Structure formats: C-alpha cells, structure tokens
Amino acid sequence: DAGVIQSPRHEVTEMGQEVTLRCKPISGHDYLFWYRQTMMRGLELLIYFNNNVPIDDSGMPEDRFSAKMPNASFSTLKIQPSEPRDSAVYFCASTPQGRETQYFGPGTRLLVL
C-alpha cells in the first residue's frame, strides 16, 4: 500500500510568495494532521481534520496560514505571504478511524529566502 504522499518534497521560495503544500493521506484514513518541525520548536501540530472537517486549528500560527481538505484523498496547506521564519519541514500524517497510530508522510522541506 502507498503511504502518505506529500508534494513537493523541497520548496525554495522568496519572501512574500505564496506557497502551497499538498498531501494525499492513506486511503481509508479518516484523520489528517499537518505538522511543522523546526530545531527550535520541535514537532508542532498545526491543524487536523476528521472526515474532511477541520477539528482543531489552534496550532495555526497566524492568518497567513490556511489549510483545506476538499475531499478524503487530498489536503493543502497554504502560506500567503511566506516569510523566512516559515522555513521548516512540514509533515502530513493520517490515522484510520478508531486507531491512534499516525502515519507520517516524507515531509516537505521549505526554505523561504
């Protein structure tokens, strides 16, 4: 079975540009999580969805960040406008209903210059 798929794997952009990160969860998984990982703050949950509905977005840093899940097989995390402090590795993870194990995607390494 394919695992969680994320794209792009690497993104380099300039400050002020819009960045869109994409995630395809494992088929049949009902929960989808977006994390950000930095050396300073570690692994932080940004937002998670259950059955395509956002449940907890308390970790979204500010209005420049937005996330959507238009269907069960696709989610996006958008940063507009991007800033250098957004540079991090962004992970997407999914979990099947009734379970707690989170399966992480390979991550997107974002560098904002």
Distances (CA, A) of 35 to 1, 12, 76: 23, 19, 12
Please choose, from the candidates 82, 96, 99, 97, the residue with its C-alpha nearest in 3D space to the C-alpha of residue 108: 82
What number of chain residues touch other proteins (CB under 8 A)?
A: 20
Residue 96 is a binding residue for other proteins (CB under 8 A):
no
Write out the two tokens for 31: 């929960």
Residue 56 is a binding residue for other proteins (CB under 8 A):
yes
Judged by CB under 8 A, the residue of 62, 63, 98, 101 near other proteins is 101
Residue 55 is a binding residue for other proteins (CB under 8 A):
yes
Q: Which is nearer to other proteins, 42 or 70 (CB)?
A: 42
What's the min distance (Å) between Cβ of 43 and other proteins?
4
Helix (H, G, I), strand (E, B) or coil at 113: coil
